[in-house]
Structure 1
Amino acid sequence: MTKYTRQLSLLTSLLLVFPIWAETASYMSDSWAMLSSERPSGPRCVDIPTNLTICNGIQYKHMRLPNLLEHETLNEAIHASRDWESLLKLNCHPDTQLFLCSLFAPICIPSMDREILPCRSLCLAVKQGCENRMRNYGFPWPEMLSCQKYPEDNNMCIQQVNQQKATDISCPACNQVSTYENLVDQFCRSTLVLKGKVGKLSGTHITVRGGRSLKKGDRRRNVPETEIRLSSDYRDCPCRVADESDKRFLIMASNVADGQLTANLVLPWKKDKNFKRAIHQFQKLNCKSLGREIRESASRRPHYYAMRKHNTGRYTLF
Structure 2
Amino acid sequence: MPREGSAAAAAAALGTALLALALAPGRGQNYDYYGWQPESQPHGRYYGREPQCVDIPADMQLCRDVGYKRMRLPNLLEHESLGEVKQQAGSWVPLLAKQCHTDTQLFLCSLFAPVCLDRPIYPCRSLCEVVRDSCAPVMESYGFPWPDMLHCAKFPFDHDLCITVQFGNRQATPPPVSKICTQCEMEHKADGMMEQMCSSDFVVKMRIKEMTEENGERRLVAAQKKKVLKLGPLKRKDTKKMVLHMRNAGACPCPQLDSLSGSFLVMGRKAGGRLLLLAVYPWQKHNKEMKFAVKFMFSYPCPLYHPLLYGAGQR
Larger RCO, structure (CA 8 Å, separation 6 or more): 2
Q: Which has the larger radius of gyration?
A: 1
Question: Of Structure 1 and Structure 2, which has the larger fraction of its residues in helix?
Answer: 1
User: What TM-score do the two structures reach when normalised by structure 1?
Assistant: 0.47
